[in-house]
Amino acid sequence: MLTCTNGMPSDQQVLQFQMKAKINSSKDESIQRRSANYKPNIWKYDYIESLTSEYTADTYKHAEKLKEEVRFTFVETVEPLAKLELVDSIGKLGLATLFEEEIKDALDMIMCLKDNNLTIEEDLYATALRFRLLRQYGYNVSQDIFIRFVDETGNFMQSTTTNVKAMLELFEASYLALEGEKIMDKARMFSTENIKTVISNSDVSLAKQLSTALELPLHWRLEWYNVTRNIHEYGKVGNINSNLLKLAKLHFNMVQATHQKDLKEIIRWWRNLGMARNLSFSRDRIIESYLFAVGVNFEPQYKHFRNWLAKVCKFIITIDDVYDVYGSLQELELFTKAVDRWDSEEIQQLPECMKICFQALYDTTNEIAFEIQRVKGGKSVLPHLRKAWENFCKALLVEAKWYNQGYTPSLQEYLDNGWISSGGSVLSIHVLFGVAHEITDKVLHFLKNGEDLVYHISIIIRLTNDQGTSAAELERGDAPSSILCYMREANVSEEVAREHIRSIITKTWKSINNQCIAKSLSLVPFAKYITNIARVSHFIYQNGDGYGVQDHETRDQVVSLLIEPLALD
C-alpha cells in the first residue's frame, strides 16, 4: 500500500511503486490494447516550478488603498444605471469577492426600484442589465419587467433593434431564464437573430464582441477565465475608473502568484507519484487539472480545496482512459469490484499499471478524506468519497460493456448512465466538502437537497464533453456518445443531432437556474461553486477536446491565468 504523508509519497514508497510497474504479466501481453493516440504533455514542469512572483508588504498596502478608493466609488455612484454598470464591471474584472457587501447593498437598492423609476425601466439596455445582474446574484426578479418592450402579439418590438448594446444585453439576460418563461425564450430568439444580422456591418471590435457572445453567453462562462481579456478591453475604454483598473491588474497578479505556489505543489505530487510514466496510454494533464480547480474556485484562501480537486480531476481523466482505452472487460470488472469493496486485495489479477492506478486512487482518496477532516473538522467524509468513486466506475463499466457488445443505447438510456460517468458527482462532492467551513449535518443534508443540481451539472459535463470529443471518439471506434445515440435513434445527420444536443444543454441550464434562483440554492455557497463545474466544462470542450489537445485554447488559458502576470502601470 502506498501511504502518503502530507500528500507526498516517500522515496522508498515511490521506488516500490515504480518497480512494480516493470513487472510484465503474460496475461497482459496476450490482450490487444487500444490506443487513443493522445499527444504527449506539452508543459515543462521544471520551468513552471521555477516561476517566482513575490509581493512585498508595500504591495499589499497599495492594494488595500485601492480597495478603499473603489469602495468610495460605490458611495459616489447614485444613479441606478451607473450602479449597475459598476457592479457589472467589478464582476467582469474579477473583483466581486472583494466587494460582496457593497454589491449586495447596491443590488438590494436596485431590487427595490418601482416601475415609476423611468430612468431604468424605459431603457431596454438598463432593464436587461438589471435583470441579468439581479438573477446572477440570486435575486428572483420577474420576467415581467420586459413586458413594456413586447407588442400585443407577445413579440419584442422591432423598434428596439436599433440599439446593438441593448440587443447584446438582452441576449445575455435571456440565458438566466427559468423553465416556462416564454418572454425570456422570445428574448433569446429575438436578440440572437438581430445580433447575427448586425455582425457583418459592425466594426471589428464590436463584431468580435458579438460573435464571442454567440459562441458562449456570459452566464455559461467563468468570469475568472475571462478576467485578463476583460482587463485589456476595459483598458481601451477612456471612461473607466482608473483605480478600478489598477486594482484589477494588481489583484489578478497577486492571485496568480498564489496559484503558482499551489501549482508547484501539485506538480511535485504528480511527478513523485510516477503515474505518467507507468500509465503511458493515459493523458498526462496535471496542469489542466489544476486549471479546472482554479475555474471552480480561484479565491486565494481555498488552497487546500484546489489541491484536492486538481488530484480528483486527474484521477477522473486517468480512470476514464483505463476504461475507454486500456482495460479488457474482464479487467475492468475486477477493477470496478476493487473500487466497490475499497480493497487492494481485489486487484492482484490485474496488469501492473491498473494495480498502480487503483492503489494511487485508494491512497489519495484516503489522504484527501483525512485532510478534509483535519482542516474542516466534523464528520468523516470517506464513505461519501468512496461511494462517488464506486458509482463513477460502475457507470464507466456499463459503457465498456456497450462497447464490447457493439450496443448503441437510446439517448435517454445513455444519459441515465452518462450523467454519472461524466464525473460530475465525484467533482461535486469534493467541491461540497472542499468549500464548506466545517463538515456538519447541514453540509451532509445538501447531498440530498442538491441532488437535482448535481444531476443537471453532470448532464452539462456529459453533453459538452460529447460535443467536443465525439468526432475523435467515433474515429477511434469508442463507445457511442450522445450525438451518435441520437443520430441512430432518430435517423438524422450529425449536424441535426448536434443541434438537438445543444437544445438539451440550453434546457438543462434553465433547470440549473431554477435550482439556483427560483429555489434560492444560490444563497448556499456550495451551489455557486458546483455550478462553476459546468462552466469549466463549457470552456474545455467549446472548441474540441481541451484535455486531449493541449496546444490551443487550453494552452492559452494556462499561460494567461497561471504563468504570465499582467503589466502594471
Confidence of residue 400 (pLDDT cuts 50, 70, 90): very high
Of 3 and 97, the structure prediction assigns the larger pLDDT to 97
Return the C-alpha cell found at 98.
Answer: 472583494
CA distance 229 to 93: 9
pTM over 0.75: yes
Of the chain, the percentage scoring pLDDT greater than 70 comes to 90
Mean pLDDT of 383-403: 96
Q: Write down the pLDDT at residue 511.
A: 95
- Which 3 state secondary structure label does DSSP give 76? helix
Neighbour-count burial for 375-406, b at 16+ CB within 10 Å, e otherwise: bbebbebbebbbbbbbbbbbbbbbbbebbeee
Cα 502 to Cα 522: distance, rounded to the nearest angstrom: 25
Structure confidence by residue, pLDDT tens digits, 127-172: 999 999 999 998 889 999 999 999 988 899 888 777 899 999 999 9
Within 10 angstroms of residue 416's Cβ, the number of other Cβ atoms is 13
**For the segment 453-478, what is each residue's pLDDT rounded down to a tens digit?**
999 999 999 999 999 877 666 666 66
Burial of 407 (0-12, 13-18, 19+ CB in 10 A): exposed
pLDDT band at 202 (very low <50, low <70, confident <90, very high): confident
| Rounded Cα gap, residues 508 and 50, in angstroms | 43
Please name which of 524, 561, 535, 519 lies closest in space to residue 179, comparing C-alpha atoms: 519
For the domain spanning 274-563, the CATH number is 1.10.600.10
* pLDDT at 401 exceeding the cut of 90: yes
What is 141-154 written as a DSSP string?
Answer: --GGGGGGGB-TTS
Domain 74-247 class, CATH top level: mainly alpha
Q: So what's the pLDDT on residue 547?
A: 77
What would the pLDDT profile of 409-437 be if each residue is shown by its tens digit? Answer: 999 999 999 999 999 999 999 999 998 88
Domain boundaries of the chain, sorted by first residue: 74-247, 274-563
pLDDT at 24: 39
Compute the distance between CA of residue 360 and CA of residue 17 in angstroms, rounded to an integer. Answer: 9
